[in-house]
Structure 1
Amino acid sequence: MKSLAALLALPLALALPAQAKLSPAEQMMARTVAAEQERNVALLERLVNQNSGTLNLAGVEKVGAMMRAELEPLGFAVTWTPMPGTGRAGHLVAVHKGRLDTKRLLLIGHLDTVFEPDSPFQRFERMGDKAKGPGAGDDKGGMTVIVAALRAMKTAGTLDGANIEIHLTGDEEDAGDPIEKARAALIAAGKRSDVALGFEGLVRDGGADMSSVARRSSESWTVTASGKTGHSSGIFTPEQGDGAIYELARILHRFRTELPEPNLTFNVGLIAGGEQASLDTGKIRASASGKTNIVPATAIARGDLRTLSGEQAARVKAKMAAIVADHAPGTGASLAFDPGGYPAMAPTTGNRALLTRLNAVNRDLGLPEMAALDPIKRGAADISFVAPDIDALAGLGTYSTGDHGPEETVELPSIARQATRAAILMSRLAAEKR
């Protein structure tokens, strides 16, 4: 007889041995997930084969309709919320009302992918226990885990009294503008919930499944340096000064040498300078012109900033501003941060307590306990918008590799493993008094 841990690694196995640490309902959930593995893979294939690049608004809405078809039969009231004025399709919100006095769970995932209709990477391809496809892990694998877990809860009877709200955003990969409007509904849902669970992908470190009690922020910045233009023979003189490019180089060098600290990164992704320099309206392309014998008048750099807390972000921004203001001779410079951006999900005591709860599930399943992933190894995510208000845990989606690239590949057994973990964790949390 296989152990439960082996069963979760082999989702085609249907026999579940009795586990003294699992309740009868929990044993039924594990059996249901295992029995429905091929159904779950088929759902993942359908989701992947419908292109839903963020800017494919109709495609995003079609994936939303597929998820509606899965959630409504489970007793969820499903609403499509269009996002006019943000340049994005909209969000799917599903609500299951349970007992009034128990905890309210917020499940977060996203409908969109980075692969637009003109990408050559468009179809699901199964390769034994793996499958390749656009969004197979990020985040159509995560949405498949949500459905698999909820179906198991429904079968076991633990969904009936559960208060669960699901937010599947249509623009996680490239948020709509203004982001305050694009994320208003999610933030409001966080304020009325008790626990948030993020279903973006599971991360492994050294071969071990990890959980995320923290995710870093993501903000974009622009430094614009100016100088006195003129004949290059006069550079570095009191009359001519250092020029814009040397001023920008000074600033970036000091960023690199003076800013580093734990959990902080600051990339420079675009740079241009010359007699003239400018950015396009999307701030992703730059143009410049100049000559070797002309002191440059303008230099521009674009980059990002990732921090682990609001306090760290404020402190680092102040240091950046002080560096920018310490001008080289005959130059000027300014620092600007783009509006919006993703906040940090700080590693709170409450988040760590959720990981403790998840590890209790792991022990009862006969699976190894999960450590907290170093947040430097994860990017920003939608769960960060609600993390300031409630306890949050991320990384409940599938395990995949090569995300955001043409080799994005999901490990299919991770659907069963993650769905079983999630179903039991959600059932236990949803039964607790508020």
Structure 2
Amino acid sequence: MSGLTPEEQALIAPIERAPILERTLEWAAINSGTTHLDGLAAMAAKLAEAFAVLPGEVRLAEPVPVEKADSEGHMRAVAHGRHLVVSVRPEAERRVILTGHMDTVYAKDHPFQTCDWLDEDTLHGPGTADMKGGLSLMLAGLAAYERGNPTLGYDVLINSDEETGSLSSSALIAQLARGKMAALTYEPALPDGSMARARPGSGNYAAIIHGKSAHAGRNPQDGRNAVVAAGDLALKLAAGRREGLSVNPARIEGGAPNNTVPDLAILHFNLRPRTPELAEVAQAMIDAAIAEVAAEHDVSIHLTGGVSRPPKPIGSETEALYGLVSQAAADLGQAMRWKDTGGVCDGNNIAACGVPVLDTMGALGGSIHSPDEFLLASSLDARARLTALVMHRLDRQGITL
């Protein structure tokens, strides 16, 4: 750590692994799957209590109403948990935003509910890497930063719906991100310290297809088969894959008894454009495929959804932010690499506001979104030190292009 000034060494010296790990274990024991509202409420209460140690206002923001197509093709309200917001020195001229999420992919009744140790450094457990450990180390890093005569203002946003696209929090993300000099998001890094660079966009859609029912034996020619139309639409959309654009028809709902021509089907699909230009290409492709299938099968098709995560390209300001963070990591003796990824997160939404963002500041870990999820405990205090040092250097020197 020879690259650290005496002031920086004093700043990070009090950071210890044990309290960060203890908090991570406590939070990972709370099932906070996106649809488990009671679990999210319990998690939000724990977070509000913990983040109250920072010298700012802590509040819980209500989710924006969201609707989703149900299995019968009707739009239904989807309930979400509240989002935690912490505002520190809102009057400061220079401000940053730090974000994370309290929800996990593990439903209330998912069998993966407890933590255990695979070895002395590898903690196996639900949400440990993604991202209860990241939230815990973020708080430790901010608490350390606050001991160093800080002047930088910042907002912390921890939402409850990141794992399903942040539909009820995207407006809040945009509101808090605008005008910030930089953003740090606490998605997990890979076990070797690799961090996400450019990300594609992501859109989730549901095409609701209405045909016409008829008897499958007596007069099938009078029917308009919505399931066949859905299958045709899935094939046409899949054929639109190209370099920089993935298209994934994921599920078809609907149908009817075997003796009835089905008059309803719902095709759910996801697409991921690498660039804003490809997002426009994808939308044109969807529109063309829907028009063609509707005409060929004499059905009506109503499309819901859209690109909720814009593509995240890398500009000069983001390169400069990464330079600051990677130098801080090097001065701390931490390995760090930066590479493009196929995943998406709230960093996409922040980048769309014109704010440079580094979105894998969390714990090192892997096998996320699976019963094999794990984090490396040694990264908890290491990444907390990185957070404190990055905040301190953003405060003292800003971002130099």
TM class by shorter-chain length?
Answer: 0.7 to 0.9
Give the unaligned 5+ runs of structure 1.
5-18, 273-277, 279-286
Question: How many Å separate the matches in 1 of 2:85 and 2:226?
Answer: 49
Q: Which residue of 1 aligns with 2:74?
A: none
Q: Which residue of 1 aligns with 2:379?
A: 414
Task: Kindly tell me the number of residue pairs found equivalent between the two proteins.
Answer: 383
Displacement of 1:295 after TM fit?
A: 6.7
Describe the SS at the equivalent of 2:126: coil
Describe the SS at the equivalent of 2:317: helix
Q: Which residue of 2 aligns with 1:281?
A: none
Contact 1:142 1:201 in 2 (8 A): yes
Contact 1:196 1:391 in 2 (8 A): yes
Q: Which residue of 2 aligns with 1:150?
A: 142
Contact 1:113 1:138 in 2 (8 A): yes
Matches within 5 A, 1:98-177: 100-101=92-93, 103-127=94-118, 128-155=120-147, 157-158=148-149, 160-174=150-164
Percent identical: 23
Matched, 1:343 2:310: yes
Q: Which residue of 2 aligns with 1:356?
A: 323
Matches within 5 A, 1:261-340: 261-262=243-244, 264-272=245-253, 278=254, 287-291=255-259, 299-327=265-293, 329=296, 331-332=298-299, 334=301, 336-338=303-305
Contact 2:204 2:307 in 1 (8 A): no
Describe the SS at the equivalent of 1:405: coil
Displacement of 1:231 after TM fit?
A: 6.8
Q: 1:211 is matched by which residue type in structure 2?
A: M
Displacement of 1:297 after TM fit?
A: 5.7
Describe the SS at the equivalent of 2:99: strand
Displacement of 1:199 after TM fit?
A: 0.5
Question: How many Å separate the matches in 2 of 1:320 and 1:98?
Answer: 43
Question: How many Å separate the matches in 1 of 2:45 and 2:320?
Answer: 35
Describe the SS at the equivalent of 1:211: strand
Residues 196-219 of structure 1, C-alpha deviations (whole Å, 9 max, x = no match): 111011135xxx422223333332
Displacement of 1:333 after TM fit?
A: 5.8
Matched, 1:65 2:48: no
Q: Is the alpha carbon distance of 1:375 and 1:329 closer, same or farther for their aligned partners in structure 2, counting shifts above 3 Å?
A: same
Question: How many Å separate the matches in 2 of 1:348 and 1:306?
Answer: 20
Describe the SS at the equivalent of 1:74: coil
Question: How many Å separate the matches in 1 of 2:160 and 2:262?
Answer: 43
Question: How many Å separate the matches in 1 of 2:262 and 2:39?
Answer: 46
Q: Which residue of 2 aligns with 1:275?
A: none
Q: 2:203 is matched by which residue type in structure 1?
A: E
The counterpart of 1:197, out of the listed 184, 187, 192, is 184
Q: Is the alpha carbon distance of 1:120 and 1:254 closer, same or farther for their aligned partners in structure 2, counting shifts above 3 Å?
A: closer
Q: 1:359 is matched by which residue type in structure 2?
A: S
Question: How many Å separate the matches in 2 of 1:385 and 1:309?
Answer: 14
Question: How many Å separate the matches in 2 of 1:116 and 1:228?
Answer: 36
Q: Is the alpha carbon distance of 1:340 and 1:57 closer, same or farther for their aligned partners in structure 2, counting shifts above 3 Å?
A: farther
**Structure 2 length-normalised TM:** 0.83
Contact 1:142 1:396 in 2 (8 A): yes
Matched, 1:54 2:34: yes
The counterpart of 1:182, out of the listed 166, 169, 172, is 169
Residues 361-382 of structure 1, C-alpha deviations (whole Å, 9 max, x = no match): 23323344422x2222x2x322
Displacement of 1:305 after TM fit?
A: 1.4
Residues 65-91 of structure 1, C-alpha deviations (whole Å, 9 max, x = no match): 322333222323211223385622211
Question: How many Å separate the matches in 1 of 2:224 and 2:170?
Answer: 44
The counterpart of 1:42, out of the listed 4, 16, 22, is 22
Q: Which residue of 2 aligns with 1:215?
A: 199
Question: How many Å separate the matches in 1 of 2:49 and 2:100?
Answer: 16
Displacement of 1:386 after TM fit?
A: 2.2
Question: How many Å separate the matches in 1 of 2:107 and 2:170?
Answer: 22
Displacement of 1:319 after TM fit?
A: 1.6
Question: How many Å separate the matches in 2 of 1:65 and 1:296?
Answer: 47
Q: 1:203 is matched by which residue type in structure 2?
A: L
Displacement of 1:43 after TM fit?
A: 1.0
Q: 1:27 is matched by which residue type in structure 2?
A: Q
Question: How many Å separate the matches in 1 of 2:351 and 2:330?
Answer: 26
Q: Is the alpha carbon distance of 1:193 and 1:247 closer, same or farther for their aligned partners in structure 2, counting shifts above 3 Å?
A: same
Displacement of 1:131 after TM fit?
A: 1.4
Q: Is the alpha carbon distance of 1:426 and 1:313 closer, same or farther for their aligned partners in structure 2, counting shifts above 3 Å?
A: same
Q: Which residue of 2 aligns with 1:427?
A: 392
Q: Which residue of 1 aligns with 2:349?
A: 385
Residues 325-355 of structure 1, C-alpha deviations (whole Å, 9 max, x = no match): 2347554463613267333333333222221
Q: Which residue of 1 aligns with 2:69?
A: none
Describe the SS at the equivalent of 1:143: helix
Bigger Cα Rg: 1
Displacement of 1:145 after TM fit?
A: 1.6
Q: Is the alpha carbon distance of 1:340 and 1:246 closer, same or farther for their aligned partners in structure 2, counting shifts above 3 Å?
A: closer
Displacement of 1:166 after TM fit?
A: 0.3
Could you say what the CA RMSD is over the residues aligned between the two structures, in angstroms? Answer: 3.1
Residues 149-199 of structure 1, C-alpha deviations (whole Å, 9 max, x = no match): 1132234x15x22212100112222367xx3x5332221111142211110
Q: 1:270 is matched by which residue type in structure 2?
A: R
Describe the SS at the equivalent of 1:288: coil
